[in-house]
Amino acid sequence: MVKNVKIYIKTIFFIFLCTSVNSKDLTGNTLGCYHEQKAMKWIHFFAINFINSNQLKYSSIFIDQYIPDDKIVKKINDKYKYKVNEDNIVILNKNEQKRIPFNYYIDRKTLMLNFDPLMKGAKCEIVDINKKNPFKLIEDYPIPVKKDPKNIL
């Protein structure tokens, strides 16, 4: 009798564990992603929060420091649809007019991005939004104000 109860409990635990690992609903999870391209002198940081089973909030900041005196900062704040496959999470491009020009693919095992050779090495991590809010970091980053060139003559 005790042996049957142990087998029953182990079976329930195994089913629970397997269904949570392969879950297609990522609601409430938050990812903070970072990539630095040293040769091109740019940094790309973005945050993803899964709002419900098919929609996510995406915020991004792209900093181009190739010309030291003329730093370019671009921010994006938008919502996108996503789908979860067995191997990856696909952030779907809304249409050609939106700022994400193609679908993003995030590997579910490594949380590495797999969509563009320029982003090779971009890695995400699961963050606790209550302790470390990546969206706040993006919101608070100052955008440099370009100065008008002064007349020499």
Mean predicted lDDT score pLDDT of the chain: 76
pLDDT value, residue 17: 37
Asked if residue 127 lies in contact with residue 30, where contact means CB atoms within 8 angstroms, the answer is: yes
Q: Residues with Cβ < 8 Å from 79, sequence gap 6 or more? A: 51, 55, 56, 57, 58
Q: What's the DSSP call for residue 95?
A: -
- Who wins on pLDDT, 69 or 77? 77
pLDDT value, residue 27: 92
pLDDT in tens, 9-52: 444 444 443 444 456 789 999 999 988 888 778 888 889 999 99
Q: Any idea where the domains of the chain sit in the sequence?
A: 26-140
For residue 79, the tally of other CB atoms under 10 A from its CB is 11
pLDDT value, residue 32: 93
Q: Which residue has the tokens 């209550």?
A: 130
pLDDT value, residue 13: 40
Bridge partners, residue 76, by sequence: 60
Does this model's pTM top 0.75? My answer is no
Residue 125's SS3 state is strand
Looking at the chain, how many residues does it have?
153
pLDDT value, residue 61: 87
pLDDT value, residue 5: 47
